[in-house]
Structure 1
Amino acid sequence: MRRTTALRTALPAFLLLGTWATASTQPATAAGSPAPSTEVPASASLLSAMQHDFGLTKSQAEARLAAEKTATAVERKAKRAAGSSYGGSWFDADSGKLTVAVTRGADTDAVRATGATVRLVKHSARQLDAAKARIDALSAPTGVSNWYVDTKANKVVVDVVTAHRNDNDVRTFLARARKAGPVTVQQTTKTPRTLAAGTVGGDPYYTGNVRCSIGFSVYGGFVSAGHCDQHTGAVYGWDNSYIGSFQGSSFPDNDYSWVNVGSGWWTVPVVLGWGTVSDQLVRGSAEAPVGASICRSGSTSHWHCGTVLAKNETVNYSQGAVHEMTKTNVCAEPGDSGGSFISGDQAQGVTSGGWGDCASGGETWYQPINEILNRYGLTLHTA
């Protein structure tokens, strides 16, 4: 599956590493850029994948992508219109509309004028984020899985592993968390793990004794997950040839890294479709709203799609907490770490970890791409 299209002839697999003289226009910056309004929402193969994963007809898939693109633009305008009363927002696939939560005192007419549906809530996004930040400052035991702001519930949700719900350290953590603000506790049987793997065949990059997946090409290299950095320096491609070395990484607290590219390797603005869909061009990094469709490419489980479930979530791995992650119901497996999350043709983030697998399903978190670009002053390579 490494060379299934003309674009990928003689190129390393997974995420293509190459620069195409005819494929680059203006680069996308860390601030992100929306897809040009003249672009077709998606390729025929991507629409086919959405039909399979979401149970949609072709016209329904096209309509959903168009509605999500509109919602992404509406979200920015509605947030400005709501001001300090902004309580979060989410996309509803059934109605095709973006819902924006606001507190009392908001100019609801101005928010509706952007095209959003309005819901009145008690707590602003700023208040919820502040409560979550206070929880982030606590030391979480392993019996606490993750926590995040649930904009629909207008609360901070803390997930606790059922088997540990009565542990003294868990009870102590929850008592402190409830003092931070509006908190609700849920139980889960799943424990998040990172998705690196030992060295195996496939379409990976290797570092130390770990196999991970390339995220997105940036000018001068590529971005991936921080936990993939084994601090051995050198990074090798699918053919075991030298690519470059880690130039920066952070894990835990964050989960991102970037690798410089040289020694005959180069970068292209492409995400590998693994034969499920055609390889996808990357045209920007406009952030998709909660509820939007999203797809992931990784060197183990290849191409899978799902939905954005939550943003700014803190995930408590055994190695420590990682902040500001986005949760999806897209499956992933060991070796997929660092791989690409993409919505339409817009880069979203790099795979961090999750629970479950692609046989039984699960949830996966990613570190948002714009945070990584801003952190290291990188520029996304776009078509």
Structure 2
Amino acid sequence: MGAGLCALLVGAAASVGLPSASAADSPTASTAVAPASTGLLAAMQKDLGLSKSEAVQRLAAEKQATAVEGKARNAAGASFGGAWFDAAAGKLTVAVTDSGKADAVRASGAAVRLVSHTQRQLDSTKKKIDTLKAPAGVSSWHVDPQASSVVVNVVASRKSDNDVRTFVARAAKAGPVTVRQVSEAPRTFAAGTVGGDPYYTGNVRCSIGFSVYGGFVSAGHCGQAGAEVRGWDGSLIGNFQGSSFPGNDYSWVSVGNGWWTVPVVLGWGTVSDQLVRGSAVAPIGASICRSGSTSHWHCGNVLATNETVNYSQGAVYEMTKTSVCAEPGDSGGSFISGDQAQGVTSGGWGNCTSGGETWHQPINEILNRYGLTLHTA
């Protein structure tokens, strides 16, 4: 198979190719209204339990919620307590601490909930907790605007461990904290080399995230700066130009040697390959889908943002948690909401047979860090 065709397969098939039009420091959403593909609607029906018409309405409502969030945040001013997409109501809900701001927020197109703490206060609390060394029994923590609290997740079987109890007590001194139990601790999703349509570095298999001009982005735990990257056919794609893990979980790889990039995310036959038109951030509660070289295409919802994940290798900050499943080898693959790139797969717990949760590293942070421009349709 010629290098050109191989290149197309890596750009369009192995990779979750991402559009190149949004500047790294200014994520954009396409102004054109592109209809959702039949395949995407089918995937949402399967994974989210929606009818076709409900899936169409959901995507339209989420797009509107994303557009409204900036105006609603400005209307709330210093009393802004966070925002999320309410799937049942089909609109954005904005938390405020000052009831006097409610009418202005409603005028922006969002619903309002009165809460006790501002986003700034909750972010400050989480930042203090980020300075603590977490034991293995603490899986993650994040700001939850609906609870107006920082949620600390502990592994149920470890909840009575002395080090877990000590961490929770110290975290509670930082500000409003709620403790929740989870069944498993998170892990990264890199894998040993097996067949498939991924990329390889050494004996590690990962998935391509999004195409950028000059290369693609992926997860940091997949390889170190300078390491060679090879495609599904064993030919050289390029090298890791930058990589960060733990602390962050992102990387970018240069592309050459007859390979090139395209602005699509592979649908793996489950859905049609998806064009990417921007990187506008989906709110909490919005639908989101993931593409990876092991478990292919799956969908779910955004559960939390700005979450610190406590991997065995060290904490990773500012991650987004989702209800989407993933498996080893899916690391680095794409998360997309509608036609907007969201991030690259980092890790999680569970699998795509029994279910689980997965975190992604937000795409705009990666673009900003390396000065990259997304390859968009």
**TM class, shorter-length:** over 0.9
Instruction: Tell me, in whole angstroms, the C-alpha distance in 1 between the residues paired with 2:184 and 2:45.
Output: 28
| Paired AA for residue 359 in structure 2 | W
**Residues 224, 240 of structure 2: 8 Å contact kept:** no
Equivalent residue, structure 1, for 2:313: 319
| Paired AA for residue 234 in structure 2 | N
Equivalent residue, structure 2, for 1:39: 34
**Residues 88, 100 of structure 1: 8 Å contact kept:** yes
| Paired AA for residue 251 in structure 1 | F
Pick aligned residue for 1:11 from 9, 17, 20? 9
Matched residue SS, 1:173: helix
Pick aligned residue for 2:80 from 79, 86, 100? 86
Equivalent residue, structure 2, for 1:249: 243
Equivalent residue, structure 2, for 1:183: 177
**Residues 16, 265 of structure 2: 8 Å contact kept:** yes
Equivalent residue, structure 1, for 2:197: 203
Q: Structure 1 residues 195-204 or 180-189, which shifts more?
A: 180-189
Equivalent residue, structure 2, for 1:118: 112
Aligned-pair identity in percent equals 73
Equivalent residue, structure 2, for 1:4: none
Question: How many residues align structurally?
Answer: 370
CA RMSD for the aligned pairs? 1.6
**Superimposed CA distance per residue, residues 250-296 of structure 1 (whole angstroms, 9 cap, x where no aligned partner):** 10110000000011111110100000000000100000111111000
**Superimposed CA distance per residue, residues 288-339 of structure 1 (whole angstroms, 9 cap, x where no aligned partner):** 1111110000000000000001000000000000000000000000000000
| Paired AA for residue 279 in structure 2 | S
**Residues 331, 347 of structure 2: 8 Å contact kept:** yes
**Cα offset, 1:106, TM superposition:** 4.8
Q: Structure 1 residues 232-241 or 267-276, which shifts more?
A: 232-241
Instruction: Tell me, in whole angstroms, the C-alpha distance in 2 between the residues paired with 1:238 and 1:378.
Output: 25
**Superimposed CA distance per residue, residues 109-152 of structure 1 (whole angstroms, 9 cap, x where no aligned partner):** 11111100000000000000000000001111111110011111
Instruction: Tell me, in whole angstroms, the C-alpha distance in 2 between the residues paired with 1:10 and 1:220.
Output: 14
**Residues 82, 106 of structure 1: 8 Å contact kept:** no
**Cα offset, 1:166, TM superposition:** 2.0
**Residues 280, 345 of structure 1: 8 Å contact kept:** yes
Write the mapping of 1:1-383 to structure 2, written as runs, cut at 5 A. Answer: 11-12=9-10, 13-15=13-15, 27-30=21-24, 31-40=26-35, 42-104=36-98, 106-230=100-224, 233-383=227-377
**Cα offset, 1:37, TM superposition:** 4.0
Instruction: Tell me, in whole angstroms, the C-alpha distance in 2 between the residues paired with 1:191 and 1:75.
Output: 32
**Residues 17, 265 of structure 1: 8 Å contact kept:** no
Instruction: Tell me, in whole angstroms, the C-alpha distance in 2 between the residues paired with 1:309 and 1:193.
Output: 18
Instruction: Tell me, in whole angstroms, the C-alpha distance in 2 between the residues paired with 1:55 and 1:16.
Output: 25
Matched residue SS, 2:129: helix
Instruction: Tell me, in whole angstroms, the C-alpha distance in 1 between the residues paired with 2:369 and 2:280.
Output: 17
| Segments of 4+ moved more than 3 angstroms | 7-10
What residue ranges of structure 1 are gaps of 5+ in the alignment? 1-6, 19-23
**Cα offset, 1:36, TM superposition:** 1.8
Matched residue SS, 1:330: coil
Equivalent residue, structure 2, for 1:3: none
